[in-house]
Amino acid sequence: MPGSRAWAILLALVLVGRYRKLSISPNTSSKADAFGANVTASRITDAEHEPRNWFTHGRTYSEQRFSLLKQINDTNANQLGLTWYYDLDTNRAQEATPLIVDGVMYFTTAWSKVIALNAVTGARLWSYDPEVPHAWDVTACCDVVNRGVALWKGKVFLGALDGRLVALDAATGKPAWVKLTIDPAFRYTITGAPRVVKGKVIIGNGGAEMGVRGYVSAYDSDSGNMVWRFYTVPGDPSKPFESPILEKAAKNSLLWNAGFGR
């Protein structure tokens, strides 16, 4: 795809340009702070007090994607110039929203790769390749894209195309834990960015057009253990409910009582 490199340059123009205009440097008061280890619920909910940071997908839990930064506007945008660029190693589609916390940019590329850069200089801090089998691309409806990561208390969370949820150490990019969230016998994929709420990593999946049953799962951010799973459509009416919450949904949902399940 010819526009892939231009997209990487655009990230540096818009986002890092804001850092330079605001004279903001990476927070190096501690190793933990410098690598996003202090992303917490309070920082996300109070994000308006730290407009230089982009803590989560959509910036805040409301996901309005609205930046409060004002020093770049319609009167001076024409003054933006190239600060740096970072070449990606693929020309496949790129759809990730970068996160920027305390001067570090975290983003994903095609094939679910994760990269951490110094947001001011563009220097690579680390990268991680989950080595998704390339044969898995036939499972995805719309290319091998990935839409980003989640950050929480020293970890970077990735949903890989082949259904794995991966927790990386934010300082090194090394895996802390890996969990397979799907049945690989079916045509599931993950392209969406995880969210973290109260220490639970929330992830869904794709594949409805391939005939799979969708669900949303929550995993403990420290251990990787699954805490709960909610199916978005009814299951086989001849089998028991997978959890009490699904039985409750069946009693109170028009969908679940319209002949599509129990």
Q: Which tens digits make up the pLDDT trace of 153-200?
A: 999 999 999 999 999 999 999 999 999 999 999 999 999 999 999 999
Q: 177-203 burial, b for 16+ CB within 10 Å, e for fewer?
A: bebebbeeeebbbbbbbbbbeeebbbb
Domain count, the chain: 1
In a domain, 217, yes or no: yes
- 82 falls within a domain: yes
Tell me the whole-structure pTM to 2 decimals: 0.85
* Cα-based angle 179, 219, 136 (whole degrees, multiple of 5): 35
Asked whether residue 260 is assigned to any structural domain, the reply reads no
Q: Check: CB of residue 170 under 8 Å from CB of residue 37.
A: yes
Smallest CA-to-CA distance from 160 within 200, 193, 187, 127 is with 193
Task: Name which of 108, 78, 104 is nearest 7 in CA terms.
Answer: 108
Residue 237 lies in a domain: no
pLDDT of residue 242: 82
256 band by pLDDT with thresholds 50, 70 and 90: low
Q: Which residues contact 136 (CB under 8 A, 6 or more apart)?
A: 144, 161, 162, 189
**What SS3 state is found at 227?**
strand
Residue 141 lies in a domain: yes
The CATH number linked to 180 is 2.140.10.10
- Banded pLDDT at 12 (limits 50, 70, 90): low
- Apex 203 CA angle, 135 and 244, nearest 5: 120
User: Is residue 170, in this structure, part of any structural domain at all?
Assistant: yes
* pLDDT bucket at 1, cuts 50 / 70 / 90: very low
Q: Which domain covers residue 61, as residue numbers?
A: 4-231
Q: Which two tokens stand for residue 107?
A: 């983003």
Bridge partners for 228 per DSSP: 218
Q: Is residue 242 part of a domain?
A: no
Question: Which residues in 6-163 belong to E strands, given as ranges?
Answer: 99-101, 104-109, 113-118, 124-128, 150-152, 155-159
Residue 173 lies in a domain: yes
**Is residue 241 predicted with pLDDT exceeding 60?**
yes
Rounded Cα distance between 161 and 51, Å, is: 31
